Amino acid sequence: ADTGAGSGGDGGGSEGGSDNLTITFLPKNLGNPYFDTSSKGGKTAVEEIGGTFAEVGPAEATPDAQVSYINTATQQGVGALVVSANDPKAICDALNEARDAGVKVVTFDSDTNPDCRDLFINQADAEGIAKVQVDLIAEQIGGAGEIAVLSASANATNQNAWIDLMTEYLASDYPDITLVETVYGDDDDQTSFDKTAALLQTHPNLKGIISPTTVGIAAAARYLSTSDYKGTVALTGLGTPNQMREYVEDGTVTAFALWNPEELGYLSAYAAAALIQGDITGAEGDTFEAGDLGEYTVGADGTVLLGDPFEFNADNIGDFDF
């Protein structure tokens, strides 16, 4: 790998495995605490394995900016690239080019089309994520009433998939709950904040908000905690304990969910290493050892499942720091 992609290119399709344990993490964007935590896990894992860790990424979560970084990784001839995709299709070609040059590609958090990567490390299965959030909100609003969704950007793959599943699950299990609107805060504090304000004004009968994104739920909680709706409009979704601690303690939010992003990064790094070393190819049924997390098996479509989402509430939030 010292000579760059040129030599990597030969190793392209070979199954033999290599010792190039350079693993680069490419989150959706930098400056996002969620990815900060996942990269931390990744770094721990890479150090355990004895490889070289790097984190690169654009300032803004757009696919075109991500492509430049994928290309760079290709040029550098890294061993594996661990990506959270800003678009399932737009970065595909770049990823495939990287794979052609011998780079193993692992997606985590947000997947691409299955044919553009070797593995997808799924934080929790989509149905599970959708279900836990809907169940939480249903419990908090008493199983009936209007709810709304505050999402990330309009094109976020994972968010959109969850919202679709939530809608189905609502229709089948909670017919009395209506999802009145989905708005997009673009994973920006201020936009999410202002969209929350607008939601509350536009729908005076709103009972609850689901925000399946860590930035969104924090901003929404901040607005709610300062408004008259505090305590009357429920809020749940996916958030990090550190950002939500304040609002759980002051009663704005009773419970929310998330997996451990640190573990997600950790697992992704181990999976990447396993691919590099040729222990697995990404085929269904492959198994690999993921350090402290134990053994994992590759499922259908080259997907590895981290586990079930975890529910945070006032009782347990004190135990976490990420």
Partner 1 sequence: MTATTATATTRVIREHDRPLWHRVLLTREMAIIALLILVIVVAMSTVRGFGQPITLNYLLLDVAPILLIALPMALIMVTGEIDLSVGSMVGLASVVTGVLTQAGAPFEVAALAALAVGVVGGAVNGFLVTVVGLPSLAVTIGTLALFRGLAVGLLGTTAVTDFPEMWTALAKAKIAGTTIPYITVPFLILLVIFVVLLHFTPFGRGIYAIGLSKDAARFSGVHVERTKFILFVLAGVVAAFAGIFFTLRFGSARGDNATGLELQVIAAVVLGGVSVFGGRGQLHGVVAAVLLIGVLSSALRLANVTSDVINIITGGLLVASVVAASLLAWAQRLRARIPPSRLTASSAP
Partner 2 sequence: MTTTSIQRSGLGKAMGGVGRAREFGILIALALVVIAATAKNPNFLFSADGWRDLLLTPSILVLVAVGQAIVIITRNVDLSVGSVMGLTAYLTGRLFIDIPGIPIVIVVIAAVAFGALLGLVNGALVAFAKVPAMVITLGTLYAYRGINVLWAGSDRVNASDMPKDFLGLGTAQLIGIPVLAIVALIVLAIAAWYMRNTRSGREYYAIGSDPAAAELYGLKVTRRLLTAFVLSGALAGLAGVFYAARYGSVSSQAGAGWELDAVGAAVIGGIAITGGVGSVWGAAIGAMLLMTINRALPILGIQDFWQRAVVGALIIGAIVLDRVLAVRQKRRLIEARDES
**What are the residues binding partner 2 (CB under 8 A)?**
30-33, 35-36, 39, 59-60, 154, 181-184, 188-190, 193-195, 197-202, 204, 215, 218-219, 222, 225-229, 242-243, 245-247
Between 87 and 187, whose beta carbon lies closer to partner 2?
187
From 19, 47, 64, 176, residue interacting with partner 1 (rule: CB under 8 A): 64
> Does residue 115 belong to the site contacting partner 1 (CB under 8 A)?
no
The reply to whether 194 sits near partner 1 by the rule CB under 8 A is: no
Q: Answer positive or negative: Cα dihedral of 97, 102, 107, 112.
A: positive
Element (H, E) at 72: helix 63-76
| Residue located via tokens 């006032």 | 314
Q: Is residue 176 at the binding interface for partner 1, with CB under 8 A as the rule?
A: no
d(C-alpha 197, C-alpha 215), whole Å: 15
Q: Which does 178 bind (CB under 5 to 8 A by kind): partner 1, partner 2, none?
A: none
Q: How far apart are CA 24 and CA 18, in angstroms?
A: 16
Check residue 115 and give left, alpha or beta (phi > 0: left; psi -120 to 50: alpha). Answer: alpha
Rounded Cα distance between 107 and 119, Å, is: 6
* Choice between 184 and 296, CB closer to partner 2: 184
User: From residue 209 to residue 248, what is the string marking binding to partner 1 with x (rule CB under 8 A)?
Assistant: ----------------------------------------
Cβ atoms 57, 34 nearer than 8 A = no
User: Cα dist. 253→1, 75, 241, 262, 322 in Å?
Assistant: 50, 46, 12, 23, 18
Q: How far is the CB of 264 from partner 2 (least distance, A)?
A: 15
72 binds partner 1 (CB under 8 A): yes
Q: Encoding tokens for residue 193?
A: 């904040």
Q: Choose among partner 2, partner 1, none what residue 35 binds, the Cβ cut-off being 5 to 8 Å by kind.
A: partner 2
Which token pair is 192? 């999410």
Contacts to partner 1 by CB under 8 A: 4-6, 30, 54, 56-60, 62-65, 67-69, 71-72, 74-77, 87-93, 153-155, 160, 184
